């Protein structure tokens, strides 16, 4: 009788450990969920660029790493791409156009910043993508899928727009997989959503 109870007890412990492990393993493998509009952005940390122009563009100082929320801007547009993704390749000229339009607008160039994160791409691969499409805004390598996982392992390209508030808090105003289609229309939409003041 005692033996039977011990066996049953062992079985329960075994099942309990199995369930715990399943949940834990699932959590660490899948990473976070994709953040939604109106939510607070997950903490995304990237290495501070070596390039002085990029550092200046993002308003960063120092070496090591920075949180995306530290970028000196009212709106941060972050694209998750991969140099191996044909859709991202086709998207590159549209995002370049968006960067060009923003940079030409004196009322927006210091307020909206764009960055790209290459999911699973090492620095060499990110450089290939940068050179192929002559990309002027900062691109970062995410070789170990760290950022990609924090954003719920999204398909590429994926765009997230984060509005930085004066009190240091932030709010996501756009979070979508797929093309932004038209740079002007996309800019109008996020400006409207953010309530960012524009001159003229």
Contact footprint for other proteins (CB under 8 A): 10, 14, 17-18, 21-22, 25, 28-29, 80, 82-90, 119-120, 122, 124-125, 128-129, 131-132, 145, 148, 153, 155-157, 177-179
Q: CB nearer to other proteins: give 38 or 144.
A: 144
Q: CB nearer to other proteins: give 18 or 192.
A: 18
In whole angstroms, the minimum distance from the beta carbon of 179 to other proteins comes to 8
What is the CB neighbour count within 10 angstroms for residue 124? Answer: 10
In whole angstroms, the minimum distance from the beta carbon of 119 to other proteins comes to 4
Pairwise CA distance, residues 66 & 43, whole Å:
10
On the question of a cis peptide bond just before residue 163, with omega within 30 degrees of 0, the verdict is: no
Pairwise CA distance, residues 114 & 73, whole Å:
10
In whole angstroms, the minimum distance from the beta carbon of 73 to other proteins comes to 25
Q: CB nearer to other proteins: give 124 or 192.
A: 124
175 bridge partner residues: 160
Q: CB nearer to other proteins: give 17 or 67.
A: 17
Q: Are strands 139-142 and 158-164 parallel, antiparallel or unpaired?
A: unpaired
Q: Retrieve residue 120's tokens.
A: 């699973």
């Amino acid at each position: 009788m005692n033996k039977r109870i011990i066996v049953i007890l062992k079985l329960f412990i075994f099942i309990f450990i199995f369930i715990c492990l399943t949940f834990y393993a699932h959590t660490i493998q899948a990473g976070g969920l994709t953040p939604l509009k109106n939510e607070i952005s997950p903490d995304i940390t990237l290495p501070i660029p070596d390039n002085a122009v990029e550092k200046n563009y993002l308003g960063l100082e120092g070496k090591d790493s920075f949180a995306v929320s530290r970028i000196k801007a009212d709106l941060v547009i972050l694209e998750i791409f991969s140099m191996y993704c044909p859709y991202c390749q086709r998207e590159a000229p549209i995002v370049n156009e968006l960067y060009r339009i923003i940079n030409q607008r004196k009322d927006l160039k210091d307020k909206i910043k764009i960055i790209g994160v290459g999911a699973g791409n090492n620095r060499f691969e990110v450089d290939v993508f940068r050179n192929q499409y002559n990309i002027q805004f900062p691109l970062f390598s995410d070789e170990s899928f760290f950022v990609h996982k924090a954003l719920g392992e999204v398909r590429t390209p994926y765009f997230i727009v984060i509005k930085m508030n004066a009190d240091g808090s932030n709010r996501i105003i756009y979070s979508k997989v797929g093309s932004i289609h038209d740079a002007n229309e996309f800019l109008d939409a996020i400006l409207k959503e953010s309530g960012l003041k524009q001159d003229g």
